[in-house]
Amino acid sequence: MENKLNISEKLDFTDIDLTAPEIVISEILSELSEETKGIIRGNVAVYSGHVMSYTKTGLSALALSLGTSDKEIDIQNDLGKIGQETHKFECYIYTPEYDKYKYRVFFVKYDTSNYPVNIILEESVARSISTGSSGYVLSCATREELEELIYKIFNSKKLISVMQELIRINQSKKTSNNGDASNDGLEEAE
């Protein structure tokens, strides 16, 4: 039997690094903690909410839809990808001295194959790293692209400013906690 499909040269079978994006980001966040002597930490946590802007339908849309008995069914909805998994995470930074405050830097969203991965940036961070009109949703096709983007984000003017604020919050909380401890000592001496 003659092979007529002949697609093997059109496909890429080389092994590439498909480390899950949240693991790559966590590794970089551990560097952040080391660089800041543990004052600033980061976390990548599972996220279940919306990661993109969306329109919420109101009661009027529901009333309109109830008024008609015809419903169009598009068979295209049943074709294509089946069993696709979507993974969503949030990445934020904080100081352990004051855990009520955190700064959410971006959302991460990817499907079963890990790459491409979408990074949905906080708008001012996106403006801080912008090299044109790329917007706030950036896509990385490989681990290397993801690492490069994350380093760029954490070295941006905006994130440096946020991290400086976290350092000040840390110092402020340490000072107020030390003040409480010294007041306790004064009360006992009286």
pLDDT (tens digit per residue) in 15-32: 888 999 999 999 999 999
Q: How confident is the model at residue 120 (pLDDT cuts 50, 70, 90)?
A: very high
72 in a structural domain: no
* Residue corresponding to tokens 């994130």: 159
Check residues 55 and 106 and name the one with the higher pLDDT: 106
Q: How confident is the model at residue 170 (pLDDT cuts 50, 70, 90)?
A: very high
Check residues 128 and 64 and name the one with the higher pLDDT: 128
23 in a structural domain: yes
140 in a structural domain: yes
Give the pLDDT of residue 5: 83
Q: In a 3-state reduction of DSSP, which class is residue 93? A: strand
- For residue 97, the enclosing domain spans 17-48+86-176
Enter the tokens of residue 20: 């899950």
120 in a structural domain: yes
Check residues 157 and 58 and name the one with the higher pLDDT: 157
* pTM, full prediction: 0.77
183 in a structural domain: no
Q: How confident is the model at residue 72 (pLDDT cuts 50, 70, 90)?
A: confident
Side-chain half-sphere exposure of 190, counting CA atoms within 13 A: 6
133 in a structural domain: yes
Q: Is the pLDDT of residue 91 over 60?
A: yes
Q: Is the pLDDT of residue 185 over 50?
A: no
In Å, how far are 86, 87, 119, 142 from 116, measured between CA atoms? 12, 12, 10, 7
Q: Is the pLDDT of residue 186 over 50?
A: no
60 in a structural domain: no
Please give the tally of structural domains in the chain.
Answer: 1
149 in a structural domain: yes
